[in-house]
Protein backbone atom coordinates (compact mmCIF):
# COMPACT_ATOMS: atom_id res chain seq x y z
CA UNK A 1 0.00 0.00 0.00
CA UNK A 2 1.33 3.47 -0.88
CA UNK A 3 1.71 5.83 2.07
CA UNK A 4 -0.24 9.08 2.32
CA UNK A 5 0.87 12.70 2.36
CA UNK A 6 1.21 12.59 6.13
CA UNK A 7 4.50 10.68 5.78
CA UNK A 8 7.32 12.57 7.56
CA UNK A 9 9.74 14.62 5.45
CA UNK A 10 13.03 13.59 7.04
CA UNK A 11 15.83 11.08 6.84
CA UNK A 12 13.78 8.41 8.57
CA UNK A 13 11.40 8.57 5.60
CA UNK A 14 14.35 8.18 3.25
CA UNK A 15 15.37 4.98 5.06
CA UNK A 16 11.90 3.47 4.70
CA UNK A 17 10.30 1.51 1.88
CA UNK A 18 7.95 4.40 1.13
CA UNK A 19 7.23 4.71 -2.61
CA UNK A 20 7.60 8.40 -3.40
CA UNK A 21 6.74 7.80 -7.08
CA UNK A 22 4.89 4.97 -8.77
CA UNK A 23 3.17 3.84 -11.95
CA UNK A 24 0.51 1.23 -11.31
CA UNK A 25 -0.77 -0.84 -14.25
CA UNK A 26 -0.26 2.10 -16.58
CA UNK A 27 -1.22 2.06 -20.26
CA UNK A 28 -0.45 5.15 -22.33
CA UNK A 29 -1.33 5.62 -25.99
CA UNK A 30 -0.55 8.30 -28.54
CA UNK A 31 -3.36 7.71 -30.98
CA UNK A 32 -2.93 4.17 -32.26
CA UNK A 33 0.62 3.92 -30.89
CA UNK A 34 0.99 2.34 -27.45
CA UNK A 35 3.80 4.06 -25.53
CA UNK A 36 3.40 2.15 -22.23
CA UNK A 37 1.76 -1.21 -21.66
CA UNK A 38 0.81 -2.42 -18.17
CA UNK A 39 3.75 -0.70 -16.50
CA UNK A 40 4.28 -1.24 -12.77
CA UNK A 41 7.18 0.81 -11.47
CA UNK A 42 8.17 2.29 -8.11
CA UNK A 43 10.81 4.65 -6.82
CA UNK A 44 11.42 4.33 -3.09
CA UNK A 45 12.47 7.10 -0.76
CA UNK A 46 16.17 7.89 -0.53
CA UNK A 47 17.32 5.96 -3.60
CA UNK A 48 18.59 6.70 -7.10
CA UNK A 49 16.73 4.74 -9.76
CA UNK A 50 17.96 4.68 -13.35
CA UNK A 51 15.31 4.15 -16.02
CA UNK A 52 17.09 2.78 -19.09
CA UNK A 53 15.86 2.00 -22.58
CA UNK A 54 16.43 2.64 -26.28
CA UNK A 55 15.05 5.80 -27.88
CA UNK A 56 11.28 5.55 -28.09
CA UNK A 57 11.07 2.88 -25.39
CA UNK A 58 8.78 4.97 -23.15
CA UNK A 59 11.20 6.59 -20.67
CA UNK A 60 10.14 10.20 -21.26
CA UNK A 61 6.46 9.23 -21.27
CA UNK A 62 6.89 7.57 -17.88
CA UNK A 63 8.56 10.68 -16.47
CA UNK A 64 5.88 12.99 -17.87
CA UNK A 65 3.17 10.86 -16.25
CA UNK A 66 4.89 11.10 -12.87
CA UNK A 67 5.19 14.86 -13.32
CA UNK A 68 1.49 15.14 -14.11
CA UNK A 69 2.20 16.45 -17.62
CA UNK A 70 0.27 13.51 -19.11
CA UNK A 71 -2.64 11.43 -17.91
CA UNK A 72 -2.63 7.64 -18.48
CA UNK A 73 -5.28 5.89 -20.53
CA UNK A 74 -5.42 3.21 -17.83
CA UNK A 75 -3.83 2.72 -14.41
CA UNK A 76 -2.54 5.57 -12.31
CA UNK A 77 0.55 7.63 -11.53
CA UNK A 78 1.32 8.67 -7.94
CA UNK A 79 3.89 10.85 -6.20
CA UNK A 80 4.05 11.04 -2.42
CA UNK A 81 0.96 8.85 -2.36
CA UNK A 82 -1.19 11.31 -4.29
CA UNK A 83 -1.93 12.99 -7.59
CA UNK A 84 1.19 14.38 -9.33
CA UNK A 85 -0.76 17.53 -10.22
CA UNK A 86 -1.49 18.29 -6.56
CA UNK A 87 0.18 21.70 -5.86
CA UNK A 88 1.66 20.44 -2.59
CA UNK A 89 3.25 17.51 -4.37
CA UNK A 90 4.57 19.70 -7.18
CA UNK A 91 6.34 21.93 -4.67
CA UNK A 92 8.22 18.85 -3.46
CA UNK A 93 9.31 17.88 -6.97
CA UNK A 94 12.04 19.17 -9.27
CA UNK A 95 12.63 18.22 -12.89
CA UNK A 96 15.34 18.54 -15.52
CA UNK A 97 13.85 17.70 -18.91
CA UNK A 98 15.19 17.74 -22.46
CA UNK A 99 12.12 19.54 -23.79
CA UNK A 100 10.87 23.10 -23.49
CA UNK A 101 12.47 26.48 -23.95
CA UNK A 102 14.29 28.69 -21.48
CA UNK A 103 14.32 32.48 -22.11
CA UNK A 104 17.75 33.30 -23.50
CA UNK A 105 17.84 36.95 -22.43
CA UNK A 106 17.72 36.28 -18.68
CA UNK A 107 20.95 35.86 -16.73
CA UNK A 108 21.74 32.64 -14.92
CA UNK A 109 21.08 34.08 -11.46
CA UNK A 110 17.81 35.61 -12.71
CA UNK A 111 16.59 32.22 -13.90
CA UNK A 112 17.43 30.65 -10.54
CA UNK A 113 15.80 33.50 -8.60
CA UNK A 114 12.64 33.15 -10.70
CA UNK A 115 12.36 29.37 -10.32
CA UNK A 116 13.07 29.61 -6.60
CA UNK A 117 9.91 31.69 -6.10
CA UNK A 118 7.84 28.62 -7.02
CA UNK A 119 8.95 26.86 -3.81
CA UNK A 120 8.28 27.52 -0.13
CA UNK A 121 11.81 26.87 1.13
CA UNK A 122 14.25 27.15 -1.76
CA UNK A 123 18.00 26.80 -1.49
CA UNK A 124 20.12 29.95 -1.24
CA UNK A 125 21.34 31.28 -4.58
CA UNK A 126 25.00 30.80 -3.66
CA UNK A 127 24.33 27.18 -2.70
CA UNK A 128 22.58 26.44 -6.00
CA UNK A 129 25.34 28.07 -8.03
CA UNK A 130 27.98 26.04 -6.20
CA UNK A 131 26.07 22.78 -6.59
CA UNK A 132 25.79 23.27 -10.36
CA UNK A 133 29.29 24.73 -10.84
CA UNK A 134 27.89 28.06 -12.02
CA UNK A 135 29.61 30.53 -9.66
CA UNK A 136 31.55 32.19 -12.49
CA UNK A 137 28.57 32.22 -14.85
CA UNK A 138 25.90 33.79 -12.67
CA UNK A 139 25.81 37.06 -14.64
CA UNK A 140 26.01 35.39 -18.07
CA UNK A 141 22.88 35.44 -20.23
CA UNK A 142 21.47 31.99 -20.93
CA UNK A 143 21.66 32.60 -24.68
CA UNK A 144 25.43 33.10 -24.44
CA UNK A 145 26.13 29.77 -22.76
CA UNK A 146 27.58 26.65 -24.33
CA UNK A 147 25.54 23.45 -24.51
CA UNK A 148 27.21 21.98 -21.43
CA UNK A 149 26.78 25.21 -19.47
CA UNK A 150 23.08 25.26 -20.35
CA UNK A 151 22.78 21.72 -19.01
CA UNK A 152 24.22 22.89 -15.70
CA UNK A 153 21.68 25.73 -15.55
CA UNK A 154 18.83 23.28 -16.16
CA UNK A 155 20.20 21.11 -13.35
CA UNK A 156 20.31 24.18 -11.08
CA UNK A 157 16.65 24.93 -11.87
CA UNK A 158 15.72 21.33 -11.01
CA UNK A 159 17.30 21.48 -7.53
CA UNK A 160 16.88 25.16 -6.55
CA UNK A 161 13.65 24.49 -4.65
CA UNK A 162 15.38 21.84 -2.51
CA UNK A 163 12.81 19.24 -3.67
CA UNK A 164 12.40 15.83 -2.08
CA UNK A 165 12.03 14.11 -5.47
CA UNK A 166 14.11 15.05 -8.52
CA UNK A 167 13.62 13.84 -12.09
CA UNK A 168 16.78 14.07 -14.21
CA UNK A 169 16.24 13.31 -17.90
CA UNK A 170 19.63 12.82 -19.63
CA UNK A 171 21.30 15.30 -17.23
CA UNK A 172 24.90 14.96 -18.46
CA UNK A 173 24.36 15.26 -22.21
CA UNK A 174 26.97 17.69 -23.55
CA UNK A 175 29.01 17.81 -20.34
CA UNK A 176 32.75 17.21 -20.32
CA UNK A 177 34.22 14.55 -18.04
CA UNK A 178 34.97 16.96 -15.18
CA UNK A 179 31.50 18.51 -15.23
CA UNK A 180 29.88 15.08 -15.43
CA UNK A 181 31.79 13.85 -12.38
CA UNK A 182 30.86 17.03 -10.49
CA UNK A 183 27.18 16.45 -11.20
CA UNK A 184 27.51 12.80 -10.09
CA UNK A 185 28.99 13.98 -6.79
CA UNK A 186 26.15 16.44 -6.30
CA UNK A 187 23.54 13.72 -6.93
CA UNK A 188 25.23 11.57 -4.29
CA UNK A 189 25.18 14.49 -1.82
CA UNK A 190 21.47 14.98 -2.47
CA UNK A 191 20.76 11.37 -1.61
CA UNK A 192 22.76 11.59 1.63
CA UNK A 193 20.39 14.43 2.59
CA UNK A 194 17.39 12.16 2.08
CA UNK A 195 16.43 13.15 -1.45
CA UNK A 196 15.16 10.72 -4.11
CA UNK A 197 16.30 10.75 -7.74
CA UNK A 198 14.83 9.20 -10.89
CA UNK A 199 17.45 9.28 -13.62
CA UNK A 200 17.12 8.54 -17.31
CA UNK A 201 20.37 8.23 -19.23
CA UNK A 202 22.00 6.65 -22.26
CA UNK A 203 25.35 6.59 -20.45
CA UNK A 204 25.39 3.10 -18.98
CA UNK A 205 28.49 3.92 -16.92
CA UNK A 206 26.51 6.71 -15.30
CA UNK A 207 23.69 4.38 -14.29
CA UNK A 208 26.18 1.84 -12.97
CA UNK A 209 27.98 4.49 -10.90
CA UNK A 210 24.92 6.19 -9.42
CA UNK A 211 21.89 3.92 -9.31
CA UNK A 212 20.73 1.86 -6.36
CA UNK A 213 18.29 0.18 -8.73
CA UNK A 214 17.90 -0.06 -12.49
CA UNK A 215 14.73 -0.58 -14.53
CA UNK A 216 15.03 -1.45 -18.22
CA UNK A 217 12.10 -0.45 -20.42
CA UNK A 218 11.64 -1.50 -24.03
CA UNK A 219 8.66 -1.06 -26.35
CA UNK A 220 6.65 0.35 -23.47
CA UNK A 221 7.18 -2.55 -21.08
CA UNK A 222 9.47 -2.97 -18.07
CA UNK A 223 11.59 -6.00 -19.02
CA UNK A 224 14.01 -6.06 -16.06
CA UNK A 225 14.40 -4.46 -12.63
CA UNK A 226 17.02 -4.82 -9.91
CA UNK A 227 20.31 -3.53 -8.61
CA UNK A 228 23.04 -2.93 -11.22
CA UNK A 229 24.70 -6.14 -10.03
CA UNK A 230 21.45 -8.09 -10.45
CA UNK A 231 20.89 -6.69 -13.94
CA UNK A 232 24.44 -7.58 -14.96
CA UNK A 233 23.99 -11.08 -13.53
CA UNK A 234 21.09 -11.68 -15.94
CA UNK A 235 23.63 -11.82 -18.74
CA UNK A 236 26.62 -13.30 -16.95
CA UNK A 237 29.68 -13.23 -19.14
CA UNK A 238 33.25 -12.12 -19.60
CA UNK A 239 34.99 -9.53 -21.72
CA UNK A 240 38.43 -10.37 -23.16
CA UNK A 241 40.56 -7.63 -24.69
CA UNK A 242 43.84 -8.40 -26.45
CA UNK A 243 46.10 -7.65 -29.39
CA UNK A 244 46.17 -10.64 -31.73
CA UNK A 245 47.08 -11.53 -35.29
CA UNK A 246 43.91 -13.63 -35.58
CA UNK A 247 41.18 -12.20 -37.78
CA UNK A 248 37.69 -11.33 -36.57
CA UNK A 249 36.08 -14.23 -38.42
CA UNK A 250 38.55 -16.70 -36.92
CA UNK A 251 37.82 -15.35 -33.44
CA UNK A 252 34.07 -15.69 -33.96
CA UNK A 253 34.53 -19.38 -34.76
CA UNK A 254 36.04 -20.15 -31.35
CA UNK A 255 33.44 -22.10 -29.28
CA UNK A 256 31.91 -19.94 -26.53
CA UNK A 257 32.53 -16.58 -28.23
CA UNK A 258 29.32 -14.53 -28.45
CA UNK A 259 30.60 -11.29 -29.96
CA UNK A 260 33.82 -9.83 -31.39
CA UNK A 261 34.56 -6.21 -32.22
CA UNK A 262 37.59 -4.07 -32.92
CA UNK A 263 38.83 -1.72 -30.20
CA UNK A 264 41.53 0.50 -31.72
CA UNK A 265 44.63 -1.69 -32.15
CA UNK A 266 43.06 -4.49 -30.10
CA UNK A 267 39.96 -6.68 -30.26
CA UNK A 268 37.23 -7.14 -27.65
CA UNK A 269 35.75 -10.59 -27.28
CA UNK A 270 32.57 -11.33 -25.33
CA UNK A 271 31.99 -14.82 -23.99
CA UNK A 272 30.07 -16.76 -21.36
CA UNK A 273 33.32 -17.87 -19.73
CA UNK A 274 36.90 -16.84 -20.44
CA UNK A 275 39.28 -19.63 -19.45
CA UNK A 276 38.88 -21.99 -22.42
CA UNK A 277 38.90 -19.08 -24.88
CA UNK A 278 42.09 -17.61 -23.43
CA UNK A 279 43.76 -21.01 -23.70
CA UNK A 280 42.64 -21.27 -27.33
CA UNK A 281 43.93 -17.77 -28.10
CA UNK A 282 47.36 -18.56 -26.62
CA UNK A 283 47.51 -21.83 -28.55
CA UNK A 284 46.66 -20.21 -31.89
CA UNK A 285 48.66 -16.99 -31.48
CA UNK A 286 52.04 -17.15 -29.75
CA UNK A 287 52.38 -13.40 -30.18
CA UNK A 288 49.21 -12.56 -28.26
CA UNK A 289 49.71 -9.47 -26.06
CA UNK A 290 47.94 -6.93 -23.83
CA UNK A 291 45.54 -9.57 -22.55
CA UNK A 292 42.81 -8.27 -20.22
CA UNK A 293 39.85 -10.23 -18.81
CA UNK A 294 36.96 -8.57 -16.99
CA UNK A 295 33.34 -9.23 -16.12
CA UNK A 296 30.70 -8.00 -18.54
CA UNK A 297 29.30 -4.61 -17.57
CA UNK A 298 25.89 -2.97 -17.51
CA UNK A 299 26.20 -2.04 -21.19
CA UNK A 300 26.51 -5.70 -22.19
CA UNK A 301 23.54 -6.61 -19.99
CA UNK A 302 21.45 -3.81 -21.51
CA UNK A 303 22.29 -4.86 -25.06
CA UNK A 304 21.53 -8.49 -24.28
CA UNK A 305 18.18 -7.64 -22.69
CA UNK A 306 17.11 -5.48 -25.64
CA UNK A 307 18.84 -7.43 -28.41
CA UNK A 308 15.71 -9.08 -29.81
CA UNK A 309 13.82 -5.83 -30.28
CA UNK A 310 16.36 -3.18 -31.17
CA UNK A 311 19.63 -2.81 -33.00
CA UNK A 312 20.40 0.51 -31.36
CA UNK A 313 23.72 0.70 -29.56
CA UNK A 314 23.22 2.46 -26.23
CA UNK A 315 25.78 3.68 -23.78
CA UNK A 316 28.23 5.14 -26.28
CA UNK A 317 29.30 8.72 -25.69
Asked if 199 and 171 count as a contact pair (C-beta separation under 8 A), the reply is yes
Which pTM does this prediction carry? Answer: 0.76
Cα–Cα–Cα angle for 198, 200, 206, rounded to 5 degrees: 100
H or E stretch covering 49:
strand 48-52
In terms of average pLDDT, the best of 9-13, 164-168, 222-226, 298-302 is: 164-168
Q: In 3D, which of 130, 41, 121 has the Cα closest to residue 79?
A: 41
Q: Of residues 46 and 295, which shows the higher confidence score? A: 46
Banded pLDDT at 184 (limits 50, 70, 90): very high
Banded pLDDT at 16 (limits 50, 70, 90): low
H or E stretch covering 261:
strand 257-263
Which residues on neighbouring strands pair with residue 95, listed in sequence order?
Answer: 167
Q: What sign does the CA torsion over 204, 303, 46, 60 have?
A: positive
Q: How far apart are CA 151 and CA 63, in angstroms?
A: 18
Indicate whether 103 pLDDT > 60.
yes
H or E stretch covering 152:
helix 147-159
Asked if 89 and 165 count as a contact pair (C-beta separation under 8 A), the reply is no
Q: Of residues 219 and 17, which shows the higher confidence score? A: 219
pLDDT in tens, 150-162: 999 999 999 999 9
Percent of the chain topping pLDDT 70: 90
Query: At a CB cut-off of 8 Å and minimum separation 6, what does 108 contact?
Result: 129, 134, 137, 138, 139, 140, 141, 142, 145, 153, 156
Region 85-98: mean pLDDT is: 92
Region 246-270: mean pLDDT is: 93
Percent of the chain topping pLDDT 90: 71
Indicate whether 275 pLDDT > 70.
yes
| Residue 280 exposed, middle or buried by CB count within 10 Å (0-12, 13-18, 19+) | middle
Indicate whether 55 pLDDT > 70.
yes
Asked if 41 and 72 count as a contact pair (C-beta separation under 8 A), the reply is no
Q: Name the average pLDDT for the chain.
A: 87
Indicate whether 173 pLDDT > 80.
yes
Cα–Cα–Cα angle for 233, 237, 242, rounded to 5 degrees: 145
Q: How many CB atoms lie within 10 A of CB 5?
A: 12
Region 236-260: mean pLDDT is: 91
Cα–Cα–Cα angle for 218, 221, 225, rounded to 5 degrees: 85
Asked if 222 and 41 count as a contact pair (C-beta separation under 8 A), the reply is yes
Q: What does the pLDDT read at residue 102?
A: 83
Q: How far apart are CA 199 and CA 206, in angstroms?
A: 10
Q: What does the pLDDT read at residue 233?
A: 72
Region 277-298: mean pLDDT is: 91
Query: At a CB cut-off of 8 Å and minimum separation 6, what does 221 contact?
Result: 36, 37, 38, 39, 58
Indicate whether 315 pLDDT > 50.
no
DSSP state of 286: T
Region 222-248: mean pLDDT is: 86
Amino acid sequence: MIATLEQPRNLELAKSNFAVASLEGVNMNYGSVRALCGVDFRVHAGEVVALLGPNGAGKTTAVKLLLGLLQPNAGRARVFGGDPTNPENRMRTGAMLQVGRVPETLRVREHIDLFSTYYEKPMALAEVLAAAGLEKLSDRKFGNLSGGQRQRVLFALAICGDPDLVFLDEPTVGLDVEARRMLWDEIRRMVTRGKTVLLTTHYLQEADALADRVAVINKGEIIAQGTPAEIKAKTAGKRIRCITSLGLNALRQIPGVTEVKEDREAVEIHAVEAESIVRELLTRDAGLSSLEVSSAGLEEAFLELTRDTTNEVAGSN
